[in-house]
Amino acid sequence: MKTIRIILLAGLFLLSACNHKAPAPQVTGSYTYEHSFNYDMEGNHFDVHETGTMDFYPDGTALDSARQVYDVTLQSGNTLTWVYNYISPSRWCQEGDTLYFAGNKEGFRMEVTEGEPTELALRIADLYRGGIDYEYHFHLDTLTADLLQWSFTYRDGHNDTWRFVRVKS
C-alpha cells in the first residue's frame, strides 16, 4: 500500500511539474529602441530619427529618454538639422493587449543640443510639451522576455510601430 501511495504521489508531482508554465513576460523593465517617423507642418517636411531608452517601473511610472535628430526641409527648399535631448517622465498601465501610456508635463524636457535653436525648433518642443500628457492606447503586438513591440493607428489612418529590445541585467 505504501508503495502505491509513493507511486501516486510521484506521478502527481511529475504531472504538476510538466504542466507548470513559466510566468508570462511583464512590461516592467529597461529597453533600448530606435524609431523613425516623418510629417509635414506649415509647408515644412520633418524626417525624425530617435534612439533612446525606455524604463517601465512596477509602480506604473516610466522614463523615456531619447536623442532625436530632426532633418527638416523648409518650404523654401533649404535644409536644417536639429538634435534634441528628449526626456519624458511618463505613466503606463497594461490591460490585456492594450498599453495605456502618457507623459507627465512636470519633468518633461526637449532641448536643442545641436543646430541653431530657431523659432521653429523651439515651437516643435513647445508643441510636444503641450500635448505630452495625452494618453495613447497602444496595441501590444509582442511581449517576450526580449522584446516589447506596440503599435498605434492615428486619426488619419496611418499606423506606426515601436520596437523595444529589453536590456539584460
Task: Spell out the domains of the chain, with CATH numbers in brackets.
Answer: 24-166 (2.40.160)
pLDDT at 47 over 80: yes
Q: Give mean pLDDT, residues 8-12.
A: 45
pTM for this entry = 0.83
The 10s digit of each residue's pLDDT in 85-136 is 999 999 999 999 999 999 999 999 999 999 999 999 999 999 999 999 999 9
Give the separation between CA 43 and CA 13, rounded to whole angstroms. 69
Whose CA is closest to 42, among 154, 156, 114, 124? 124
pLDDT at 150 over 50: yes
pLDDT at 83 over 90: yes
Contacts of 38 (CB under 8 A, 6+ apart): 45, 46, 47, 48
